[in-house]
Amino acid sequence: MSIIIADATNLKDLVDLSVLLFPDDSYNDLFAVYKDVIASNKETGLLYEKDGKYAGYMHLSIRTDYVNGTDTSPVVFVEAIYVLPEYRKHGIGREFIEYAERFAREKGITQLASDCFIDNTMSEAFHKSCGFIEKERVICFVKNV
C-alpha cells in the first residue's frame, strides 16, 4: 500500500481512474489534462497502489487565484479524489488527504481546500470526516446571449 506520484509510466492508469470520476469527459480530453498535470510544477497527480493495482487517485494543485471560502493564498486544492468502490471505507481517501496536508505544509501553505457538487452527500460526508469545514454553498448561473 503506497501513494506514488504519477508520471509518464503510469499516466494511462491515472486517466483510466479519472474517467470513472468524470464519465462525461472524453478519455482523450482527460489524457490531455493529466499529461499537463504530470508535467506541471503547480499540480500533481497521485496514485494509490494496493494489491498490485491502482485503487484510487488524487489530483492536487497549488492555486493562487481566489478559492471560495479561503482566506489565504496560495492554497493547496484537491481538484479530484477517487477510490474504486471495492476499496472504499478502507482509509485510502483519508491517506490521500493526509498526504495533501503534508504536501501543503512542506510548501509553507496553511490551507487545504476542496469542493463537491451540492447533491454529492457521500463526498460531503467524506470531506467532513477528514476535518474539512463547510465554508459556503454556491449556485452557479449561466445565461447564453
Whole-prediction pTM: 0.93
Cell numbers linked to 60: 492536487
pLDDT band at 50 (very low <50, low <70, confident <90, very high): very high
d(CA 65, CA 56): 27
Look at residues 72, 75, 58 and name the one whose alpha carbon lies nearest to residue 3: 58
d(CA 103, CA 46): 12
Q: pLDDT (tens digit, 9 = 90+) per residue, 19-37?
A: 999 999 999 999 999 999 9
pLDDT (0 to 100) of residue 121: 94
Query: Would you say 92 and 47 are in contact if contact means Cβ atoms under 8 Å apart?
Result: no
Residue type, 129: S
Q: pLDDT (tens digit, 9 = 90+) per residue, 89-115?
A: 999 999 999 999 999 999 999 999 999
Pick the CATH number of 2-129 from 3.40.50.10330, 3.40.50.720, 3.20.20.370, 3.40.630.30: 3.40.630.30
